Amino acid sequence: MQINIDEPDATEQFWAGMREAAAAAARHRDYGLYEAIVKIGKSALAQGVELVPSGGLFLWCPVCSAQTGQRCINTPGHPLNETRLHAERIELAEKAMSGEVPLPKPFG
């Protein structure tokens, strides 16, 4: 598959590929692979690739415990936005990817 970096959805495609790899790492409970994926993600961010909201799918959700690669589950008091992810999860992903907080475990 060829990805043209000038395509408007290239960023979305990049993170979609990363999410699929992260979901595979979660399925196989392969922490080494997960760490490698996060390393690639951080390096992409450092090079100016924007983190899309669905980048939250990288991490385990602190609200509903959805695992890496899984969409969030409806939880009372925590509405889901149009990305079907909890705001807390998106925020955690941004902080973890920027190194502000330690990386949470990928598997609940």
What is each CA distance from 48 to 40, 52, 96, in whole angstroms?
A: 13, 12, 16
Which residue among 38, 51, 60, 86 contacts Zn ion (CB under 5 A)? Answer: 86
Closest CB to Zn ion among 68 and 97? Answer: 68
Position 87 contacts Zn ion (CB under 5 A)? no
Phi, psi of 83 (to 5 degrees): -85, 0
Site for Zn ion in 32-71 (CB under 5 A): 61, 63-64, 66
Position 72 contacts Zn ion (CB under 5 A)? yes
Q: Which of 71, 72, 85, 68 is nearest to 28 (CA)?
A: 68
Min dist. Cβ of residue 108 to Zn ion (A): 10
Per-residue tokens: 34: 């997960």
Q: Which residues bind Zn ion (CB under 5 A)?
A: 61, 63-64, 66, 72, 86
